[in-house]
Amino acid sequence: MSAAARDHGPDCDCESCGDPRSMDVLDKYLTVWIFGAMAVGVGLGYVAPTVTRPIQNLHLVEIGLVLMMYPPLAKADYSQLRTVFRNWRVLGLSLIQNWLIGPTLMFGLAVIFFSGLVPGLPARPEYFLGLVFIGMARCIAMVLVWNELAEGSTEYVTGLVAFNSLFQIVTYGVYVWFFALFLPPLLGMESLAAGITAFDITPMQVVEAIVIFLGIPFAGGFLTRYVGTRAKGREWYDERFVPKIEPLTLVALLFTVIVMFATQGGTIVASPGDVLLIAVPLTIYFVVMFLVSFWMGREIGADYSTTTAIGFTAASNNFELAIAVSVAVFGVGSGVAFATVVGPLIEVPVLLALVNVALYFQRRFDWRGFETGALDSTAAEAIPEND
């Protein structure tokens, strides 16, 4: 996250606040770095195809994914959960958007593009599953960046990230089972269901992957914050320690992309159009979720900062978890894993563009008279200004 986003509050009048140009160069050009990592990986796999075996034997993808998940879970302030639960109307709206509308919309887009029901679009069960894995994982990392760039409520988005971190451990496996294994045959999508069944996926495989790739980094992140804040204080932890571990997410992501694409070099070279095919439903999802969520937040009377936090939390996804589970269940060279790794490639530029849309809405609409959804007046007085 950029220094500007960390050091200034939403009411700051300095030119850097709310300006995507103030975004840290590592975050701002994440799409470029991912493209570069993909190219390196594909080149490595093409030049040295035998590299696949040591990558799998040394579990390099799995190691990279665990390291990728740790920083955002260590950064999440679980004490802010009380902020989320303070306003039941805003909490209820967020739950509906994140855990009902979002997964259902992604399932619908996966059906349209990859179920074989639309003429000209053949059934692609591996990409269908990839979209489902992405859609069921709610964002816990990059949403903090988008929210602060758009001057959203830090307290509310932090609380919701903490809530999503906990909620996903319990529900992610259930959601994947329901949308990937239960609904397709129930809705009469026999060819798609047959293709999914051929993968021989079981709910227990998903649960085991969640325990490893979300449970382990969650436990590590929670303990790190608990020990760090008590030993050195919250200010030291947030302003000194967190900035030092934040780059680990990007480094681990790029490392994971390189080793993943090194195992899929032949597939990618043979079908580059598949990246564009997967990108279309993902782009539709991000844009629709943000606009609908922003509109719903304004309809319930939430102020701009809370509405913005609601919108970006609903529109973003935890692509780290989706990649981790798909790799653990289907293998690093699978089409499912390939579909999930396209997620951050598309999310970063689209969500960065939506930051500008949010700032336009801030200027375009009159927000006077709208409620502060994240904090009531009593709570606001109780929280120090620098928090």
User: 257: buried, middle or exposed (CB in 10 Å: 19+, 13-18, 0-12)?
Assistant: buried
Q: What are phi and psi of 87, to 5 degrees?
A: -115, 105
- pLDDT tens-digit profile of 192-222? 888 887 777 777 878 888 888 778 888 898 8
Q: Contact at 8 Å (CB) between 195 and 123? A: yes
| Backbone angle region of 19, left / alpha / beta, with phi > 0 → left and psi within -120 to 50 → alpha | beta
- pLDDT tens-digit profile of 17-42? 455 544 566 666 766 887 888 889 88
Q: How many CB atoms lie within 10 A of CB 94?
A: 28
Please give the Cα distance from 162 to 160 (Å, whole number).
5
Overall size of the chain counted in residues: 387
Q: Contact at 8 Å (CB) between 344 and 309? A: no
Structure tokens of 383?
A: 């929280």
Burial 235-244 (b: 16+ CB within 10 A, else e): eebbeebbee
Cα distances (angstroms) measured from residue 329 to each of 37, 66, 111, 324: 23, 15, 21, 9
The H or E element spanning position 297 is helix 273-299
DSSP 240: I
Structure tokens of 112?
A: 């349209």
Structure tokens of 6?
A: 């960390």
Residues whose CB falls within 8 Å of the CB of residue 283, separated by 6 or more in sequence, listed in order: 346, 350
Please give the Cα distance from 250 to 385 (Å, whole number).
30
User: With respect to CATH, is domain 19-366 assigned 1.20.1530.20?
Assistant: yes
Residues whose CB falls within 8 Å of the CB of residue 74, separated by 6 or more in sequence, listed in order: 220, 221, 222, 224, 225, 242, 245
Q: Contact at 8 Å (CB) between 164 and 98? A: yes
Residues whose CB falls within 8 Å of the CB of residue 35, separated by 6 or more in sequence, listed in order: 345
Chain centroid, CA 351 distance in Å: 11
Q: Read off the amino acid at residue 159.
A: G
Q: Is the dihedral of CA 157, 338, 27, 363 positive or negative?
A: negative
Structure tokens of 77?
A: 């302030």
Please give the Cα distance from 164 to 158 (Å, whole number).
10
Long-range pairs for 170-174: beta carbons < 8 A, 24 or more residues apart: 171/99, 172/136, 172/137, 172/206, 172/210, 172/214, 172/321, 172/325, 173/203, 173/206, 173/207, 173/210, 174/203
DSSP 317: B
For each of the chain's 387 residues, which pLDDT tens digit applies?
333 344 444 444 444 445 554 456 666 676 688 788 888 988 888 788 788 788 888 888 888 888 887 887 888 777 777 777 777 787 888 889 989 999 999 999 999 999 988 888 888 999 999 999 999 998 776 787 788 889 888 778 878 877 887 888 888 888 999 999 899 888 888 778 888 877 777 778 788 888 887 788 888 988 999 999 999 999 999 999 999 998 888 888 888 888 878 876 666 677 778 889 999 999 999 999 999 999 998 888 888 998 999 999 999 888 878 888 888 888 877 889 889 988 877 888 899 899 999 999 999 988 876 765 544 433 444 444 333
Please give the Cα distance from 263 to 265 (Å, whole number).
6
